Structure formats: C-alpha cells, structure tokens
Amino acid sequence: MTDWRSVPDLLPTPPDGSFASDNSAGVSPEVLAALSAANAGTALAYGEDSWTRRADTALRDSFGAPVESVACWGGTGANVVALATVLRPWQAVICPDSAHIVVDECGAPARFTGATIVPVRTVDGKLTPDAVDPYLEWLGSEHHPQPALVSISQVTEMGTVHSTDEIGDLCEHAHANGLLVHVDGARIANALAATGSDLPSMVRDTGVDLMTLGFTKTGSMYGEVVVFLRPELAEQAVFVRKQAGQLASKSRFIAAQVLAMLEDDLWLRNARRANEMAERLADAVSGVPGVKLVRRPEANSVFVTIPGEAIAPLQDWSFFWEWDLGASLVRWMTSFATTEEDVARFAAGVRAIVAPHVPRDS
Ligand SMILES: Cc1ncc(COP(=O)(O)O)c(C=O)c1O
C-alpha cells in the first residue's frame, strides 16, 4: 500500500477551493457591493430602515403572498425564532434524525422552545407522512408531549431534495392532524435550482406554514430570514427574536444582502452553479476504485463511501467532513465559488489517495 506521506510528489496540488461545506466559500461580489452601497449615510436601526422595507416587499413578491418576514443573524437563530414563536413547552416537533435542529444546533431549539424535539429515523433525510403516524397517537394524552409541528430540511442534511408533491403530502397529513409544517430552508435555493421550481410552487402552494429562508450558503455574508406564510403565526415573532438575541441593530445590512440575492435571481444562479459542480464532481470520481456514490447528487453535495483508512489522509490533503465514520460515509460539498479546476484537482487527489487503499481482491 502506498503511504502518500512518504511520496508527496505523487500527489496533485490540492484545490484552492474547499469541499468541506458551502459555508467555506466567501461572499458573492454582488453581495459585497450591496453591503458597500448600503453603507452610505445613516438609517434608523432595528429594521426601521428602507432596505428592510424593500426586502419585506421583495420577499412578498418572491412568495406571491402576503408573508411576514423576520430577519435574523444566522440559521440556528432563525430556526429558534421560527419554532419558539409557534410552540409551547409541552409540545413536540417531529423531524428527521439527521435534522440540523436536532443534531447541529447544540439543543438550541429544545432549550428556547421548551418543546420536545423528536428525531425520527430516515434513510435519506426525508420525513414521510407514514413516519409521523406513530407520534400522532400521543395527541390528547397528558403523558406525552403533544405533536404540534413537523420540521423538514430542504435540501436535507443527506443531500436529498423533496419534490413539491412530497412536501404537499406531508403538509396535508400534518394539517389533517392539527400540526404545522416548518421548512429549514438553509439550502432552499439549491432545491429550487435542482427542481426548476419556485417559492410559490414549492412552499406556498404545498401548504408550508413557516420556514427559515437561507441566503448564507448561496453567497451572503450572514443573515437568514424566518418567513411566516400564515401571517397570523408571526404575531409574537419580533419579541421572540429580540429575546433570542437575533435582532440586528444595523438590520439594513441583512436586508441589503437579501435584496442583492433576490435581484436577478442571484441566489438561484449561485445555487445552480453549486449544483452543477456537484454533478461534475460525481462524474469525475465515479470511476475511481474504492469510491462508491451513495446516490447521484440531487443538489450541491456528493455523498460517497471510501475505504476507512483513506479518509484521514484525504482530509489531510484537502479537508472535508465525514458523515458516518462507521459506514465510511463522507460528504463533499460544492458552492457557488467552486471552479472546474477545483473539481479536477480534488478528483485527482481522490484517485491518488483512495485507490491505493482498495483491497486487491475487491
Ligand atoms: C440544514 C441547515 N440548517 C441551518 C443551518 C444554519 O446554521 P448556522 O447557525 O450555522 O447559520 C445550516 C448550516 O450549516 C444547515 O445546514
């Protein structure tokens, strides 16, 4: 077996770009320009500014509905504000076991809502109506937390994309049983780009009640927005936001980023680019011995299994996150900033480092 550390000359140069996360990318130049433009003059703080008013209007136009929007500093905070606005402490959230709200937010949604977050096992990160059923039996029993909301991620943490029909079916089932539906849309733009859908079709018409609308992954510097599709649900949202420390004083800079992202569909163009680079990466590594694609990329991530011994050396060469070490499952993620050259170099490194770890008889 080749130990690449002893023969570094055999290795290609690592890519300039990172495949660790779309969060590793910088900021879209258009967003930086918008931040700079918003820096002219003074404006009232805490959302009492013209950028915030324009962003609210732009979001209503994007959804084709009189949505209420509440801008927050980040994704975890926005999820907290969304959930804490509509939940009481004795209630329960049903979500996939891979959900960011249950795995990656240090328990913030549970802490701030007081509600029980119930993670449900899924194969591909998608929650189906059937998977919710066992928890509906808790309804009405004082011994159980009362299911009040279903939360899904679009794109899921497993890189899969719900179809609009899947979201619609889940909403119908949830609503028929008195539950709300929340979408963690940190990567909703990637899902829209992947399916060719739009916010009205994917979110409004399917019946989603509230969502976290993400911009950071597609090129903003910071700032995510909680969107209430049923405006009456938003009644207490600003108080929750302030208490949760999610009200930015210089809110104009979040609004300016939202406006830049929505203008000429920059967020969708960026998402499309990221998705295309994932496709390209999947093609480039699919023939490499030892690399098994879990599925074709549905958005901007490539999930593969590689021999366990290859993971650390490959990470040392160009870092990425393992997703399930027991299963040798890793995630390679692309962004709007990923270049063809990055993909070519990363694939070359994968070939150089992974292939020597493949057992001869496999
Ligand atoms: C599905 C999902 N939701 C929410 C977030 C936002 O988290 P943060 O608090 O890091 O902005 C992320 C970030 O990785 C995410 O992947």
Mutating to test ligand 1, I would choose from 83, 184, 226, 257 the residue with most ligand atoms within 8 A of its C-beta, which is 184
Q: Is 337 in the pocket of ligand 1 (CB under 6 A)?
A: no
Q: Which of 6-15, 100-109, 157-166, 203-212 has the lowest mean pLDDT?
A: 6-15
Q: What is the pLDDT of residue 63?
A: 98
Q: How confident is the model at residue 264 (pLDDT cuts 50, 70, 90)?
A: very high
pLDDT at 9 over 80: no
Please report the pLDDT score of residue 6 as a whole number. Answer: 46
Q: What is the pLDDT of residue 285?
A: 97
Same topology, domains 4-26+267-357 and 29-265? Answer is no
Of 3 and 37, more confident: 37
Dihedral Cα 83, 76, 321, 132, nearest 10 deg: 0
At the second CATH level, the architecture of 4-26+267-357 is: Alpha-Beta Complex (3.90)
Q: Which pLDDT score, from 0 to 100, does residue 7 have?
A: 47
Q: CATH for 29-265, among 3.20.20.220, 3.40.640.10, 3.40.50.720, 3.30.70.140?
A: 3.40.640.10
| Residue 169 burial (CB count, 10 A) | 16
Task: Answer whether 91's CB lies under 8 Å from 146's CB.
Answer: yes
Residues 112, 84 contacting (CB under 8 angstroms)? yes
d(CA 291, CA 293): 7
How close is the Cα of 7 to the center of ligand 1, in Å?
A: 38
Digit-coded pLDDT (tens) for 178-218: 999 999 999 999 999 999 999 999 999 999 999 999 999 99
pTM of the model: 0.96
Residues whose CB falls within 8 Å of the CB of residue 296, separated by 6 or more in sequence, listed in order: 279, 282
The domains of the chain are located at 4-26+267-357, 29-265
For the Cβ of 100 lying below 6 angstroms from any atom of ligand 1, the answer is yes
Pick the atom of ligand 1 nearest to 184's CA: 3
Over the chain, what is the mean pLDDT? 96
**221 or 355, higher pLDDT:** 221
Ligand 1 centroid to residue 75 C-alpha, Å: 5
* pLDDT of 361: 64
Take residue 15 and report the two structure tokens written for it. Answer: 């890519």
**Helix ranges, the chain (H):** 29-38, 50-63, 75-86, 100-103, 108-113, 129-136, 164-176, 188-195, 199, 237-243, 252-262, 266-285, 308-317, 340-354
Using one digit for the tens of pLDDT, what is the confidence trace for 202-212? 999 999 999 99
Please tell me if the CB atom of residue 351 comes closer than 6 angstroms to any atom of ligand 1.
Answer: no
> Is residue 186 in contact with ligand 1, taking CB distance under 6 Å?
yes
Question: Where residue 230 falls among pLDDT bands split at 50, 70, 90?
Answer: very high
For 309-350, write each residue's pLDDT tens digit. Answer: 999 999 999 999 999 888 999 999 999 999 999 999 999 999
Compute CA distances 153 → 16, 79, 120, 157, 353, whole Å.
29, 11, 13, 7, 33
Task: Quote the ligand 1 centre to 277 CA distance (angstroms).
Answer: 21
> How far is the C-alpha of 187 from the C-alpha of 274, rounded, in Å?
11
Q: Is 153 in the pocket of ligand 1 (CB under 6 A)?
A: yes
Q: What is the arithmetic mean of pLDDT over 133-145?
A: 98
**C-beta separation of 302 from 347 below 8 A:** no
Instruction: Tell how far the Cα of 204 is from the centroid of ligand 1, in angstroms.
Output: 22
Q: Is the pLDDT of residue 277 over 80?
A: yes
Q: Is the pLDDT of residue 240 over 90?
A: yes
- What does the alpha-carbon distance between residue 212 and residue 23 come to, in Å, rounded to a whole number? 17
pLDDT (0 to 100) of residue 10 = 74
157 lines ligand 1 (CB under 6 A): yes
Given this model, what pLDDT does residue 325 score?
86
Q: Which atom of ligand 1 is nearest to the CA of 216?
A: 11
For the segment 165-172, the average pLDDT, to the nearest whole number, is: 98
pLDDT above 80 (res 362): no
20 within ligand 1 shell (Cβ under 6 A): no
In the prediction, which pLDDT does 358 show? 83
Ligand 1: centre distance to CA 230 (Å): 23
